[in-house]
Amino acid sequence: MTVSLDNSKAVYQGIKDAGIKFITALPETWLVYLLQLADEDPEMCLIEVAKEEEAVGIAAGAYFAGEPNILLMQNHGFLAAINGIVSLAMLYRVPLCMLIAHRGHMGEPYPWHTQGGIVTEPVLRALNIPFDYARDPQKVGKQIREAHTYSLSSLSPVALMLSRDLMED
Amino acid sequence: MLRSKAIEAIYPELEDKLVITIMGACAQELYDLGHKENFFYLQHAMGLASSIGLGVALNLPHKKVVVLDGDGSVLMNLGTLTTLARYRPNNLTHIIFDNGSLLSTGGFTSHTTSGITDLAAIAKGAGVPNVAKATTPMEFIEAVADAFEGNELSVIVAKVEAVGPDHFGMDFKLPENAFRFERYIREYVTG
């Protein structure tokens, strides 16, 4: 498999069109072009963390400062960030717009991703986090805008799952 | 050194800064000196106070930001020191009160007890440009004054006694603190 550069560009354009200028992220294979685009964009502030739970705190700080922002992470990073999501974002009603690479699901050839892939959606449901799947490059921009809008209006974490259909060629 | 006295000593300096504290004793001792709308108390999510401070500081480069942290919280998120060092906002002062104890959760000893783990050395090794250690009130006040006057990311590790307040409670709900903190920034910092 190869990561789709064209669709990564569509996702990045969606992030830009949503008015986002601040991204907190941890690198992962499906996000490689997205992070390169962010890194090369002088209008974008990209903060890379050591572990994803940090990103929840940094995103909350950016929100307090009035800066529209998103998080970019793999689903295993989402699983690693849960206490921050629950005990900062949910407890204090801080919006979080998370774009999550959904590794380890249908078509996944790598065994190490599979258990995380299997449990991600059930965990999102257990946490009552609204989520949607992005599969179509024509629609992903609108989905990003809508996820960001909804996180702000609901003062809640919202997840947009970047699927294999979207991220791989 | 008592943390409550150390916080009291710098309290007047916090009025024009954005302050983020960790949970428990540290939050209560600041609150008991008199709540200000520019104070945010993170009463859970241990380890993330410094991450919040980083997110605020990077987006408000002309505003001084202070994080009041503790050894137990920092040990839960040591990576934060590396992220702070990498992006090094020059308007952020990260004060770590090191009482060598998980005081608010039963007083169990932490890894910093008896000097086994040196958080200042870790901060230095992470690449934080200005790292100071304080064991006396005078050293603490000087280190904080240097950090506030200076123009670089600072981490101050202050050795304090493992004692805290005999009461806990604040006159607002947790989301209310977040709403008011965000509103304060909107009205008085970015507005």
Structure confidence at residue B68 (pLDDT): 98
Q: Is the dihedral of CA A125, A128, A129, A132 positive or negative?
A: positive
Q: How far apart are the CA of B60 and the nearest CA of chain A, in angstroms? A: 7
Structure confidence at residue A109 (pLDDT): 95
Structure confidence at residue B111 (pLDDT): 85
Per the document, the length of chain B is 191
The answer for A 126-155 residues in CB contact with B (under 8 A) is 155
Structure confidence at residue B105 (pLDDT): 72
Q: What is the pLDDT of residues B139-177, one digit of tens each?
A: 999 999 999 999 999 999 999 999 999 999 999 999 999
Structure confidence at residue A48 (pLDDT): 98
Residues in chain A with CB shorter than 8 Å from the CB of B55 are 24, 47, 57-65
Closest Cα in chain A to B53: A61
- Alpha-carbon distance B64 to B17, whole Å? 5
Q: Give residue for tokens 């040990």.
A: B75
Phi–psi pair at A75, nearest 5 degrees: -65, -30
In the three-class reduction of DSSP (H, G, I as helix; E, B as strand; rest coil), residue B86 is classed as helix
Tell me the pLDDT of chain B averaged across its residues: 95
Structure confidence at residue B136 (pLDDT): 97
Q: How many CB atoms lie within 10 A of CB A153?
A: 10
Structure confidence at residue B101 (pLDDT): 79
Better-scored residue on pLDDT, B107 or B155: B155
In the three-class reduction of DSSP (H, G, I as helix; E, B as strand; rest coil), residue A163 is classed as coil
ipTM metric: 0.97
Q: Could you please report the per-residue DSSP string of B15-28?
A: TTSEEEE-STHHHH
Structure confidence at residue B107 (pLDDT): 75
Q: How far apart are the CA of A70 and the nearest CA of chain B, in angstroms? A: 12
- Alpha-carbon distance B159 to A133, whole Å? 49
Q: What is the mean pLDDT of residues B107-126?
A: 88
Q: Could you please report the per-residue DSSP string of B9-63?
A: HHGGGGTTSEEEE-STHHHHHHHHT---TTEEE--SSTT-HHHHHHHHHHH-TTS
Structure confidence at residue B103 (pLDDT): 72
Element (H, E) at B68: strand B65-70
Share of chain B above pLDDT 90, in %: 90
Structure confidence at residue B113 (pLDDT): 79
Structure confidence at residue B109 (pLDDT): 81
The domain limits of chain B are: 3-189
Contact criterion met (CB below 8 Å) for B93 and B57: no
**Positions of E strands within chain A:** 22-25, 45-48, 69-74, 96-101, 131-134, 157-162
- CB within 8 Å: B56 and A45: no
Query: A5-167 in CATH: which number?
Result: 3.40.50.970
Share of chain A above pLDDT 90, in %: 99
Q: What is the pLDDT of residues A57-77, one digit of tens each?
A: 999 999 999 999 999 999 999
In the three-class reduction of DSSP (H, G, I as helix; E, B as strand; rest coil), residue B67 is classed as strand
Element (H, E) at A32: helix A32-40
Structure confidence at residue B140 (pLDDT): 98
Structure confidence at residue B23 (pLDDT): 94
Q: What is the mean pLDDT of residues A109-136?
A: 98
Structure confidence at residue B91 (pLDDT): 98
Share of chain A above pLDDT 70, in %: 100
Structure confidence at residue B106 (pLDDT): 75
Residue B60 has pLDDT above 80, yes or no: yes
Structure confidence at residue B102 (pLDDT): 76
Q: Place domain B3-189 in its CATH homologous superfamily.
A: Thiamin diphosphate (ThDP)-binding fold, Pyr/PP domains (3.40.50.970)
Structure confidence at residue B116 (pLDDT): 85
Q: B56, B67, B73, B86: which to substitute to probe chain A, counting the most A Cβ within 10 Å?
A: B56
Residue B112 banded pLDDT, cuts 50, 70, 90: confident
